[in-house]
Amino acid sequence: MSTAKRDTYTPETLLSVAVQVFIERGYDGTSMEHLSRAAGISKSSIYHHVAGKEELLRRAVSRALDGLFGILDEEHARVGSAAGRLEYVVRRMVEVLMAELPYVTLLLRVRGNTGTERWALERRREFDHRVAALLKDAAAEGDVRADVEVRLATRLVFGMINSIVEWYRPDAPDGRDGRDGRDGTGEREVVDAVARLVFGGLRKAS
C-alpha cells in the first residue's frame, strides 16, 4: 500500500472499485474491510472520501439513474410522435446501459434492504412508468399494437434490454462474427438488434 497509490485516489476511482466489489459480493455481503482491500487503501482513507458503504451505493446507482433519466430530457425523447420518441428512448437505454455497464448492473441488482436501495427501486419504477406512458401514447396514436397490455409489454421490453448486462462485455463484444469484417465494440450492432426486435420482432417483414 504505497503512499503514491493512496495519493492518487479520488472519489471517482474509489467508486469504480466499490461498484465491482458490490457486484461480485453483493451489497449486503460487502464490508468496509472488503472495500479497503480491493481499493488498496485503508478504511480511514475511505472514510476521508465517503461516510460509508451506503454513500458509495447511492453515488453508484445515482450515476446509472442520472444516465437513464437524462435520456428523457433529450430533444428526440420530447419531440415527435410517441412511437418515434419511444424508439429513440429504447435505443438510448441500450447505449446508456453499455456505457455505464457496472453502474446499471448494480442498479438492476438492488434489492431494497436499506433506505438507499428502496430509493433506487422507487426511482427505477418511476423510470419504468415514464417509458410505459410513452408506450401507452404510442398505442393511442395507433402506432403500437394494442393486443399486449402496456405494463406487460413494458416489463418484457425492459427484460430484454436489461438482460444485456448478463453477457455484454465491452472488451469481448458479442456479435463480432466477422461477417462484414467490421471492427469495433459491437455496440451499434446491439442497439440496432434491440430496436429491430422490440419494434419489428423476429418475423421477416413482408
- 157 within 8 A of 91, measured Cβ to Cβ: no
CA distance 119 to 50: 19
Residue 32 identity (one-letter amino acid): M
Interaction of residue 198 with a second copy, rule CB under 8 A? yes
Cell 503514491 found at: 4
Compute how many other C-beta atoms are within 10 angstroms of the C-beta atom of residue 169.
12
- Which 78-97 positions form the footprint of a second copy (CB under 8 A)? 83, 86
> How far lies 180's CA from each of 171, 185, 186, 189, in Å?
19, 14, 12, 12
| Cβ proximity to a second copy, 61 vs 139, nearer residue | 139
Residue 133 identity (one-letter amino acid): A
Cell matching residue 32? 468496509
Interaction of residue 44 with a second copy, rule CB under 8 A? no
Interaction of residue 115 with a second copy, rule CB under 8 A? no
Q: Least distance from C-beta 189 to a second copy, angstroms?
A: 7
Interaction of residue 112 with a second copy, rule CB under 8 A? no
Interaction of residue 73 with a second copy, rule CB under 8 A? no
Q: Least distance from C-beta 9 to a second copy, angstroms?
A: 30
* Binding piece for a second copy, criterion CB under 8 A, among 63-71, 72-80, 119-127, 136-144: 136-144
CA distance 54 to 52: 6
Q: Which of 44, 146, 181, 184 binds a second copy (CB under 8 A)?
A: 146
Q: Least distance from C-beta 117 to a second copy, angstroms?
A: 16
Residues 6+ apart with CB under 8 A from 189: 175
| Cβ proximity to a second copy, 40 vs 170, nearer residue | 170
> Where do contacts with a second copy occur on this chain (CB under 8 A)?
26, 29, 83, 86, 135, 138, 142-149, 151-153, 155-164, 166-167, 174-175, 177, 179, 189-190, 192-194, 196-205
